[in-house]
Structure formats: structure tokens, C-alpha cells
Amino acid sequence: MVRYGGERGRGQHGRVLAAAIGVTALAAATSVWTASADPVVGRTARTGAAAAPAAQGAGPGAAQGTGARQRVSASIAHASDRGARGVDITIDDGPDPVWTPQVLRVLRENGVKATFCMVGTQAKAHPDLVEAVVAAGHRLCDHTVSHDTGMDRKPPSYQAREIIDAARMITEASGGVRPVYYRAPGGAFTPYSRSLAASHGMRPLGWNVDSEDFRRPGSAAIVATVEREIANGPTVLFHDAGGDRAQTVAALREVLPWLRRQGYVFGFPVR
């Protein structure tokens, strides 16, 4: 979730507009999704002839899903499923052929599972990396098709396309595993987008600690930011795409062992 021009703070509590959105728009978007959500198995969900692609969670370290979409809370998640000492590592904007494999390597070396918030076009371009993320036991998150940080000012039909099409791209790239979170670019949530995502089993996901790695301030500064702000809450934001992420990789090598030494345990955001 690269913030162009600086958007720190918008995602910490999610930007929620007060605009009222009609039920008709949500129903229409849901109809579009239902009719085409199962290209992986070659049939539409409305026929009932084939099971839907598995919800993220069939693999090790992921949420245990049944395969059917389940509505989740539309409120923006900030808590960890590991409780008060939990830390949730989230990685935005990928996958990227240079940086995602390096991030995966650091996570593996430290025994950490993370949540990857993927841009739909990136997932479509690099299905091998999406599959690698899933195979390693990490969770998937929908980060829209085009990473439009102004989508909260766009009509519901646009928001629906960004969310639904990205979820489809990620699901296809993963081999049938759906994202279980939705993170609005720059925290540009709306009541409509949160409700739409939740109705398809994707919990809106915020963050508590912005590592500010997108600014490339140096790995030491990134580590210092996390160490200073981890008391704000468990969900920590990093990036594996959107530019040179060498500093992010270096910072993760330091900050993950540091967090464990402080008595934190790694988990996933609540659903």
C-alpha cells in the first residue's frame, strides 16, 4: 500500500465516509460476483454444480475455511488472533518478482507467517509467486486492481469492480484460494466497500504501525519506527513492491527477531 504524497494515519482507523449507499448497488455487485466467481473450477456458483474455490485457509498456517464464502464483520480489523502479545505482519502491493521471493525467504528463516495484500494486476502477472505465498502458509488479502488511493471518492460501481475483479484475479492466480481480507489502498475505505468485501468473506483490514518503508528512509529507520510504535497495536505494514524494497528486506531481518525477543508472537489479523 504505497502512499504517494503521504497518507499515514488514514489506514490506522480506516477512512469511512458518511455517504449512504443503496442496497440495490450492493445487490448488483454481489450478483456480478456470484455469476463469475468460480472460473477456476469452470462453472458459476449460481448453478450449484461445482464447489466454490477454497477459502484461504486450507493450507498450513492459514485460517481454516470450509470452501464456501462466509460473511465476516465489515468493521476494520486491527486486532491479532494471537491476543494481546500478537503481532501481524502485513505485506502490501505485490507480488513482485524481485522482492517477494526475498521477503518470503526472510519470513521462512524466522518462522513467521504474514498476510500479503496483493494488487490484482500484479497477482495476474505473477501467479507463481501467489502460489508460493499460499504454499508457505501465508494469507491473501485483496488490495484492489489498480491501487487507486482515491477510490473512496469514486462511485460504488467503480469500487465494486476494483474489489471484485482483484479478488477474482488473486483467486485464479493462487489456483483457487480466495483472499480473506480486503485492504483499501491508502486506507480509502467506504461503508459500501467494507460491506461489499465483508459479504464475500474478506474482512476489511487496517494497520496500527506504518513502518514507512515506502519512503526508503534506511533500514535502521524502518526498524526504529516499528520498535517505537508497536505499542500502538499489532498490525504492522510493510511493502514488497512499488519500488526498491531492499531496505524493507534488511529491516525485516532485524525487526522480526527483535519482536520475538520482546515476547511477541506472530499471528494473523482477526476475522
Neighbours of 253 (CB within 10 A): 16
Q: Which letter does DSSP use for residue 42 in this model?
A: T
- 210 in catalytic set: no
Helix (H, G, I), strand (E, B) or coil at 233: coil
Residue of 143, 210, 239, 240 marked catalytic: 239
- 176-196 as b/e: b if 16+ CB within 10 A: bbbbbbbbbbbbbbbebbbbb
User: For 71-109, b where at least 16 C-beta lie within 10 A, e where not — what string?
Assistant: ebebebbbbbebeeebbbbbbbbbbbeebbebbbebbee
- Calculate the CA dihedral of residues 123, 177, 202, 147 and round it to 10 degrees: 0
- Annotation marks residue 239 as catalytic: yes
Q: Which residue has the cell 466454490?
A: 52
What is the largest distance, in Å, between two alpha-carbon atoms of the chain? 54
Of residues 262, 231, 236, the one with CA closest to residue 248: 236
Region for residue 262 given its phi and psi (left: phi exceeds 0; alpha: psi -120 to 50; beta: otherwise): alpha
- From the list 88, 92, 210, 213, the catalytic residue is 92
Active site residues: 92, 239
